[in-house]
Structure 1
Amino acid sequence: MTDVDTSAQTLKPARQLAGQPPRFPGESADYRRARNDLLAEEIELRRHIERVAVQRRALPPGGVVPEDYRFDGETGPVTLSEMFGEHDTLITYNWMYGPQRARPCPMCTSLLSAYDGEMPDILQRVAFAVIGRSPIEKLVAFKKERGWRYLRLYSSGGNTFNRDYAAEDPAGDDNPALNVFTRSNGTVRHFWAEEMGPASADAGQDPRGAPDPMPLWTLLDMTPGGRGTDWYPRLDYPNVPR
């Protein structure tokens, strides 16, 4: 599947594309009517996601990164520019596992566990770095405990990256942050960051981004109960082998 700019195309009406006949055993006419109404909305949502992606890719050049931050990597010191490897795009995720935490954030961990499985595919296209303020030994110890195989971990305990790009207070708690950087002709620039959070959340809703980067919530949103309001991921579950 490739990125397609649908803004200049003549699209068929969503209602026309959603005109499905009965498809599944036992479904009623009322169900099919309501399902087709929903399908039309899902088609419109897909189109809006595509329009937003086109707008995102058309952003003007972002700010030049103020310094080539130096991190502690799993095999030694690494600079931000070195994290790109052979790629011209780098995605970074700020993991909420600072030195004040005995255990990492369960939500971050759930997200990163999903990304670990996708990482061999992701790394074909872009570089990806997981950054936390705890010492690298602490980050790696949890990586081994969790069974992560592909995530590349870096400690930012000796620089201001988390403060600059995750709005963290060095003396306070962690913030999650998803950032994208680009490199061209030796210059590293900030391209985009997930900026939706508690301040922009709608009443009664999780302060999530759009599209939601959490595979967990995307799947639960397809179920009758949805994501609910009284449940969040945990680091461990009884009687569930890892």
Structure 2
Amino acid sequence: MNQVVSRDVWLEARRQLLASEKEATHLRDRVNAERMALPWVKVEKDYVFDTPTGRKSLADLFDGRSQLIVYHFMLGPDWEAGCPGCSFLADHLDGTLVHLNHHDVTLVVVSRAPIDKVEAYKKRMGWNFPWVSSFANDFNYDYHVSFSKEQLAGETVFYNFTPMDSAEGNDELPGLSAFYKDEVGNIFHTYSSYARGPEELIGTLMILDRAPKGRNESSTMNFVRRHDEYEDTAKAHSCH
């Protein structure tokens, strides 16, 4: 339990924290500006995805808008269910769609599992956001969130912009990528983020950070379950 003090002492401590919070806000603003200033890479490769309404190209996924955000969701071809951490993040996406679409942004979730498995898990979770399969293309491999058996058999895999010990890896890892499509149809890769990078998309964590006990975790998000599994504490917490 934290120290219990008078209101005046608390107020002084809170003002000191406020100064740090403002500093963090200003730092976030600077980071956002640096992110906006990143150079872009033209996407030269053609990707075709399986969707519930047929096959679609990367250009099609923009759905008439100029900006595309892709969440790389950990659900491999042989997995029984989606990663609990990715599922936790995905619980926060549906409410953003109308606002993102109004702001010329399309959000799409991509997994390497076949589309029938994607659709089954999406139905189980009760989600409505667009979710497509990259099972038939190299998209997840090219954006460094999926890894072959041969890659995992080596000493390292390339993840989060650096070589990572393959023993610490998985065949699927999380990430977020952004793309821009210009007036003539050229597509550019503008940004990607991995590991804890997309954490700010998880509103629940931002609320917990302000609760008296915080995230109350012994390791990153170890408390998280799929939202239909919280009553079943006997279930394993692995991704598959």
The answer for the alignment partner of 1:134 in structure 2 is 113
The yes-or-no answer on 1:43 pairing with 2:34 is no
How far apart are residue 178 of structure 1 and its match? Answer: 0.1
The answer for the alignment partner of 1:59 in structure 2 is 38
Residues 171-200 of structure 1 show CA distances to partners (whole Å, capped at 9, x for unaligned) of 4611111000111132111000114x3xxx
Q: Which sections of structure 1, spanning at least 5 residues, go unmatched?
A: 1-25, 198-207
How far apart are residue 91 of structure 1 and its match? Answer: 0.3
The yes-or-no answer on 1:80 pairing with 2:79 is no
How far apart are residue 144 of structure 1 and its match? Answer: 1.2
2:223 to 218, 232, 236: 232
Normalising by the residue count of structure 1, what TM-score does the alignment of the two structures yield?
A: 0.78
Query: Larger deviation: 165-174 or 116-125?
Result: 165-174
d(CA) in 2 for partners of 1:110 and 1:210? 12
Partner of 2:63, secondary structure, is coil
How far apart are residue 27 of structure 1 and its match? Answer: 6.0
User: Relative contact order (alpha carbons < 8 A, sep ≥ 6): 1 or 2 greater?
Assistant: 2
Q: Which sections of structure 2, spanning at least 5 residues, go unmatched?
A: 150-169, 233-240
d(CA) in 2 for partners of 1:77 and 1:170? 24
Partner of 1:123, secondary structure, is helix
Residues 75, 27 of structure 1: alpha-carbon distance in 2 compared, 3 angstrom cutoff: farther
The answer for the alignment partner of 2:152 in structure 1 is none
**Preserved CA contact (<8 Å) 1:94 1:166:** no
Normalising by the residue count of structure 2, what TM-score does the alignment of the two structures yield?
A: 0.78
1:89 to 67, 81, 99: 67
Partner of 1:140, secondary structure, is helix
Partner of 1:166, secondary structure, is coil
1:214 to 195, 202, 215: 202
Residues 22-54 of structure 1 show CA distances to partners (whole Å, capped at 9, x for unaligned) of xxxx96111000001111111111111111111
Code of the residue aligned with 2:49 in structure 1: it is F
**Root-mean-square deviation over aligned CA pairs:** 1.9
d(CA) in 1 for partners of 2:6 and 2:97? 39
The answer for the alignment partner of 1:157 in structure 2 is 135
d(CA) in 1 for partners of 2:145 and 2:172? 9
Partner of 1:72, secondary structure, is strand
d(CA) in 2 for partners of 1:138 and 1:65? 28
Query: Larger deviation: 134-143 or 229-238?
Result: 229-238
How far apart are residue 216 of structure 1 and its match? Answer: 2.1
Residues 73-119 of structure 1 show CA distances to partners (whole Å, capped at 9, x for unaligned) of 11110110111122111000111011121111011001011112222
Residues 203-239 of structure 1 show CA distances to partners (whole Å, capped at 9, x for unaligned) of xxxxx22773322221111122221333331111129
d(CA) in 2 for partners of 1:140 and 1:210? 23
Residues 210, 49 of structure 1: alpha-carbon distance in 2 compared, 3 angstrom cutoff: farther
**Preserved CA contact (<8 Å) 2:42 2:188:** yes
The answer for the alignment partner of 2:236 in structure 1 is none
The yes-or-no answer on 1:147 pairing with 2:126 is yes
1:104 to 74, 82, 88: 82
The answer for the alignment partner of 2:191 in structure 1 is 192
Partner of 1:86, secondary structure, is coil
d(CA) in 1 for partners of 2:19 and 2:54? 52
d(CA) in 1 for partners of 2:86 and 2:6? 39
Residues 147, 123 of structure 1: alpha-carbon distance in 2 compared, 3 angstrom cutoff: same
The answer for the alignment partner of 2:144 in structure 1 is 166
Query: Larger deviation: 50-59 or 29-38?
Result: 50-59
**Preserved CA contact (<8 Å) 2:176 2:198:** no
The answer for the alignment partner of 2:159 in structure 1 is none
Aligned residues: 201
